[in-house]
Amino acid sequence: MTTGFFTDTTLCIGCKACEVACKQWNQLPGDDYTFTGASYDNTKALGATTWRHVAFVEQFDRKTPQMGATAIGERMRANGNAETNGNHGAPPIDLMAIRNGARGADTSTAVAPRVVHEQSGGLLGDHRWLMMSDVCKHCQNAGCLEACPTGAIIRNEFGDVYVQPDICNGCGYCVIACPFGVINIHEEDGRAWKCTLCYDRQKVGMEPACAKACPTQSIQFGEIEELRDRARARVGQLHTRGITDAYLYGVDEHTSVGDLNAFFLLVDKPAVYNLPEQPRVPQAQVIPGYIATAVTAVALGVATAAAFLLRARVSDQNR
Amino acid sequence: METFDRPPNEVWLPPLRSPARPAERDEPSVTYYDQPMIKPPHWKWYIPAYFWLGGIAGGAATIGAAARLFGGPVAKRDTVRHARYLSLALAIICPIFLILDLGRPERFFRMFRVVKVSSPLSIGTWILSAFGLASGALAVRQAVEDSVVIPRESGLGRLLRRLIPDAPLSALQGILGLGLGGYTGVLIAVTAIPLWAAGGIFLGPLFLATALASGAAALTLLSVAFGKRDPESERARGTVETVEAISAATQLALVGARDLTTPSRINQPLRVGFWGRVFRIGAVGGGMATPLTLRIVARLLGPRATKVISVIAAVLTLLGALAERFTIVEAGKVSSRDPLAYQDLTAGAPGEARPTAREQALHAPQASAHRPRIAASDTAFDSIR
């Protein structure tokens, strides 16, 4: 049986209960009290002691038809994007204009026209606030697992990628082999750590701490095929309700990384959530690399041998 | 798509677009508050220093083996001796550097649990270990030949010379030396770091050529310092210098090929900034082009002018190799902090990596009306309890 996470970002409310539950259950030390000043996200990224990370994306720059009077609105109309002039009933809170006015800038912040699908007239109007609880993806073709020179990183009986702390010697090669920047070396401990998908809890039939703590079922744990079906259905449901940006990241992938045991439902392009558009497993390069190096080795080896052979022959003739 | 405002003091690279993605050039870049998408290597200075020393060891061993198997009498004697002692000395230092860089140095032996083709680090561990053993055996044999500690004609000396096969072991050491010089390049190419992964196919060959060049340079210096001054010795050194020149030319070709095939945004850390300058001026200009030019000039001037030029060129090659190792590692750290470079590396057209949102919706199954509020496994546990 393969287990995994389905993280539905449309349900995430950014409460960070998953971050806290993960830290508590896995007895991970707290992060520094850093203040990014950029958003509610002061965790910043996954790491050796942070195995769940809630990303906050504040899209208050989304352009709306109420911007008709601004240069951006003019540009949109010039582009002939009729949909942006659609009937959104949102009150014309022109944050952009206010901001631009305050800055004295005008068109420098212009963005490409886009269709605003979300309901208008709500609390946020045409602006939206995306949250995503990020986690180790437990890739089908895991870069860290392939890179590990000690065999410390294994695929366990639940089909998840697990670092055996009693084997790991902290070489750090997995850190740079991870295409998602998940695993990291703990500086004091010296070993590599990442999400275990609560291996210990799964062993006794419990669901992982983050999924258990999630109050909105944004994080769902279960058997991977069942989760995928549920997620695919959720995409259809969201599309019928007008969220036509919704798509699954990590299911039916055509990438070298393959499908992800922890996959996501997103409503904007992956880079918005700090995810790569087309992740590549680094080991796809290993055989070409070996071959290129071997060819060079033969060429330079022959050249070296030839240099000595020719010179030896010359000195024989001189004698 | 939206842009986030970048705080001016955190912009470390000009927002250039890669020419590799002309279709997306009009689209403003999106990052998550400029947070890196991948983690930097935690390597300390030990690793680039090891790349340098291991390269010298591998290159010197390869040249020593070629001299032993194909060289004239002086090359067989002097070049081989220098190469063997140098290889052993470096083969002792290199593992120490590698072990010190581990997060848990006392667990270094865990590297010997597996042989993993997918991990150049694992393959490299085995290459380095075998190389160390071969170098040790050959250095012992050389010491016996030179009557160091154990006299050549003593009983133990004869036994050791019989036990340690000279030519086959030399050939093995030479082949392992080539592997030792080249695997490090493959090792860094097989990562998510954009600077190393893009154009990574050239890194193994480049590291190998650098290894051979720096090994030859080290042997040149040893030959000037300890070799005899007769014409035959000069000639043997000349051969080593020829190898160095060939390697330098190979290096230049590979650096050029890598530069041309790497998208500009990804290649930025090696083009601009401090490490870019050190790489272009120090490693490529000072460590490859200048020594190569000096070698050609020396060849044209004839044997008289060669010695001083030889030493200068060899020192430049060694320093250039050192600069190359450090700049590539450090520029890789810079590259890992650049989310746009990683986006370039992992770029894909819509629908290329996964079905588009529309396609996914078209194939979506019907949602079930009821979903259990608690995961099944959790309920099962509750009932067990």
Could you say which of B26, B117, B348 has the minimum Cβ distance to residue A278?
A: B348
A255 to chain B: which residues are within 8 Å by CB?
353-354
Identify which of B28, B35, B37 has the shortest CB distance to residue A276.
B37
Closest to A9 measured CA to CA, from A246, A232, A302, A266: A266
Query: Do the Cβ atoms of A191 and B104 come within 8 Å?
Result: yes
| ∠ CA B195-B200-B202, rounded to 5° | 120
User: Is the pTM for the entire model greater than 0.90?
Assistant: no
Q: Does residue B191 surpass a pLDDT of 70?
A: yes
Does pLDDT of B356 surpass 90? yes
CB-nearest to B37 from A146, A183, A274 is A274
| Chain-chain contact of B364 with A239 (C-beta, under 8 angstroms) | yes
Token pair 């287990």 is found at: A3
Checking if the pLDDT of B7 tops 60, the result is: no
> Cβ separation of B232 and A315 shorter than 8 Å?
yes
Q: What is the pLDDT of residue A94?
A: 44
Q: In this model, does residue B15 exceed pLDDT 90?
A: no
The single-letter DSSP state of residue B191 is S
Q: What is the dihedral of CA B299, B304, B308, B311, to 10 degrees?
A: 50
| CB < 8 Å to A148, chain B | 116, 119
Nearest CA in chain B to A239: B361
From A193's Cα to the closest Cα of chain B, the distance in A is 12
Cα nearest neighbour of A283 on chain B: B190
- pLDDT-above-70 percentage for chain A: 78
Preferred mutation among A296, A310, A317 to probe B, highest tally of B CBs within 10 A: A296
Mean pLDDT of B178-194: 97
CA distance B150 to chain A (A): 30
Q: What is the mean pLDDT of chain B?
A: 88
Residues in B closer than 8 angstroms to A47, CB to CB, are 39
Mean pLDDT, rounded, of chain A: 83
Distance, in Å, from the CA atom of B48 to the CA atom of B275, rounded to the nearest integer, reads 14
Q: What is the pLDDT of residues A219-239, one digit of tens each?
A: 999 999 999 999 999 999 999
pLDDT at B84: 96
State the smallest CA–CA distance between residue B125 and chain A in angstroms.
9
- Cα separation, B313 vs A88, in Å, equals 72
**What pLDDT was estimated at residue A312?**
75
Look at residue A119 and tell me whether its pLDDT is greater than 60.
Answer: no
pLDDT higher than threshold 60 for residue B9: no
Confidence label for B293 from pLDDT (cuts 50, 70 and 90): very high
What pLDDT is attached to residue B124? 97
| Yes or no, beta carbons of B246 and A220 under 8 Å apart | no
- Quickly tell me which residue has 């070396």 as its tokens: A185
**pLDDT of A45 strictly over 70:** yes
Q: Which helix (H) or strand (E) holds B45?
A: none
- The answer to whether B367 contacts A233, with C-beta atoms less than 8 Å apart, is yes
Tell me, what's the pLDDT at A75? Answer: 43
Residue B346 has its nearest CB partner, among A234, A254, A279, at: A279
Per-residue pLDDT reduced to its tens digit, A162-207: 999 999 999 999 999 999 999 999 999 999 999 999 999 999 999 9
Residues in chain A closer than 8 A to B39 (CB atoms): 47, 175-176, 178, 181-184
Q: What residues in A contact B97, CB-CB < 8 Å?
A: none
- Look at A150 and B114 and tell me if their CB atoms are within 8 Å: yes
Mutate to test the interface with B, among A58, A311, A318 (most CBs of B within 10 A): A311
Distance CA A251, CA B353 (A): 10
B133: pLDDT strictly greater than 90: yes
Other Cβ atoms closer than 10 A to B192: 27
What's the DSSP call for residue A7? E
Contact A305 B66 (CB under 8 A): yes
Residue type, B193: I
Length of chain A: 319
Give how far A89 is from chain B: nearest CA, Å: 22
Ranking A246-255, B24-33, B286-295, B306-315 by mean pLDDT, the lowest is: B24-33
Contact B119 A173 (CB under 8 A): yes
Give A-chain residues touching B111 at CB under 8 angstroms.
149-150, 169, 171
Write the CB contacts of A3 (distance below 8 Å, at least 6 apart in sequence).
A158, A159, A160, A197, A202, A221, A222, A223, A224, A261
Q: Do B242 and A307 touch (CB under 8 A)?
A: yes
State yes or no: pLDDT of A123 exceeds 80: no
For residues B204 and A83, which has the higher predicted lDDT (pLDDT)? B204
pLDDT number for residue B17: 40
Residue B182 burial (CB < 10 Å; 0-12/13-18/19+)? buried
**Distance (Å) from the C-alpha of residue B164 to the closest C-alpha of chain A?**
23
* Phi, psi angle pair for A133, to nearest 5°: -90, 105
Residue of chain A with shortest Cα separation from B63: A304
pLDDT of res. A109: 40
Tell me the mean pLDDT in the region B193-202: 96
Q: CA nearest B209 in A: which residue?
A: A300
